[in-house]
Amino acid sequence: MRASDADRDEVADRLREALAEGRITAEEHAERIDAVYQAKTYADLEPVLSNLPSEQAPRSRVDLRKEPALAPPPAQSPNIVAIFAGAQRKGRWLAEPTTNVACVFGGVELDYRQAVLSRGEVTVNVTCIFGGVDITVPPGVRVTGSPTAIFGGSDLPEDDGVDADAPVIRLTGMVLFGGVSVKRRAVGEKGDRRDRHREAHELHRRHHEELRELHREHRDARRERLRELREERHRDR
């Protein structure tokens, strides 16, 4: 497991306490501090405190004890289809390298907060026609790419990850009179139902306006063509 800046700072604090108590020399302290701020994982931090008394062990945020690994979740179909209906994946599920989402007059919800990614970068390929896809990702996961939108759109959160090795969810595909919305929330955090209703209402309003505009363009084109035909008949006379 990768160590955070807070983990490294806490180990450094414990080393300063050990130096003040005379448990390590100034030279040892300098060497170990260098090792702390070069450490990337808990395994790199463990040797720094290995020969200190147990009270010098990292506290709650830096727990070097290895928890038993959970068995991988069972594989599911990489294809999710919702036609005049809804579908969802949430909880602990296995995200395949590519998940294909197809929704027609329907909605699909993908919650990646407890999902197990089959590799560091996975792809969500969306085909959405008169529907919507809602995706929830945890903090620290990067979301890149965007489906091609025709009379639709996608809403992606700002990238909050600074780790080059952070997991990546890449979006591809096509959206026609629909939308893809990605929200970033921690496990257990719930969105505001009123916000979701407001977003859905706004999406429907935009779709309605786009349809009205398309109808006006077709009507104006027909009128223009009729006017040209009348002028041609008038000239023929």
pLDDT digits (tens, 9 = 90+) for 114-143: 998 888 899 999 999 998 999 999 888 889
| Whether residue 69 has pLDDT greater than 90 | no
Contacts of 15 (CB under 8 A, 6+ apart): 24, 29, 32, 33, 36, 48, 49
Q: Are residues 44 and 83 in the same domain?
A: no
Q: Are residues 50 and 146 in the same domain?
A: no
Token pair belonging to 51: 């020969």
Q: Are residues 98 and 171 in the same domain?
A: yes
Q: Does residue 91 lie within any of the structural domains?
A: yes
| pLDDT of amino acid 65 | 46
Q: Whats the size of the chain, residue-wise?
A: 237
Q: Does residue 166 lie within any of the structural domains?
A: yes
What one-letter code names the amino acid at 106? G
Is residue 83 within 8 A of residue 130, CB to CB? The reply is no
Question: How do residues 70-96 score in pLDDT, each as one tens digit?
Answer: 677 888 899 999 999 899 999 989 999
- Quote the number of domains for the chain: 2
Q: Are residues 86 and 171 in the same domain?
A: yes
Q: Are residues 42 and 113 in the same domain?
A: no
Q: Are residues 24 and 126 in the same domain?
A: no
Q: Does residue 45 lie within any of the structural domains?
A: yes
Alpha-carbon gap, residue 123 to 144, rounded angstroms: 9
Query: How does DSSP classify residue 140?
Result: T
Average pLDDT of the residues in 16-39: 83
Q: Does residue 74 lie within any of the structural domains?
A: no
Query: What domain range is 173 assigned to?
Result: 79-191
Question: How do residues 32-47 score in pLDDT, each as one tens digit?
Answer: 888 888 888 877 888 8
Q: Are residues 35 and 98 in the same domain?
A: no
Q: Does residue 202 lie within any of the structural domains?
A: no
Helix, strand or coil, per DSSP, at residue 174 = strand
Alpha-carbon gap, residue 178 to 98, rounded angstroms: 21
| pLDDT of amino acid 205 | 56
Token pair belonging to 199: 């977003």
| pLDDT of amino acid 208 | 56
Q: Does residue 217 lie within any of the structural domains?
A: no
Q: Are residues 87 and 49 in the same domain?
A: no
- The alpha carbon of 128 is separated from its chain's Cα centroid by a whole number of angstroms, namely 18
Band (pLDDT 50/70/90 cuts) for residue 214 is low
| Nearest residue to 16 (alpha-carbon basis) of 64, 61, 52 | 52
Band (pLDDT 50/70/90 cuts) for residue 146 is confident
Q: Which among 41, 56, 71 is the end of a domain?
A: 56
Question: How do residues 172-193 score in pLDDT, each as one tens digit?
Answer: 999 999 889 999 988 776 654 5
Q: What ranges in the chain are assigned the alpha helix state H?
A: 5-20, 26-38, 42-49, 193-236
Band (pLDDT 50/70/90 cuts) for residue 97 is very high
Is residue 182 within 8 A of residue 112, CB to CB? The reply is no
Q: Does residue 215 lie within any of the structural domains?
A: no
- The alpha carbon of 208 is separated from its chain's Cα centroid by a whole number of angstroms, namely 29
Q: Does residue 128 lie within any of the structural domains?
A: yes
Band (pLDDT 50/70/90 cuts) for residue 209 is low
Phi/psi-derived region of residue 132, left when phi > 0, alpha when psi is between -120 and 50, beta in every other case: beta
The mean of the pLDDT values for the chain is 80
